[in-house]
Amino acid sequence: MDIEVTDGKASTPTVKGNFTISGRSPWLTSYNGKVKAKYKVRFFGNYYLHSILFDSKGKNIVDSRLGQSLSHGCVRLSVDDAKWVYDNIKDHTGVYVN
């Protein structure tokens, strides 16, 4: 199964390698509080798998782009794919980011 994702831009690349899932939360709030993402799943430090971006209230999509290098290092997924990961990939599961 192939899914389309967005990874880190050149100035804030996504880490690559073997990692372990280590925590989750229903929401990620950006460092400046201006955007949120659904279904945050940590794979390393402050690197997460999460949904596309929503406004600060979590109501309206502000960036739905996938398949590009745009993030601050996290891996963005569609809302449906992020929810599947959140619901099905448990803590301590290995993940390979390439």
Q: Which active-site residues does the annotation give?
A: 50, 74
Q: Is 80 left (phi over 0), alpha (psi -120 to 50) or beta?
A: alpha
SS3 76: strand
Count Cβ atoms within 10 A of the Cβ of residue 35 and give its class: 0-12 exposed, 13-18 middle, 19 or more buried: middle
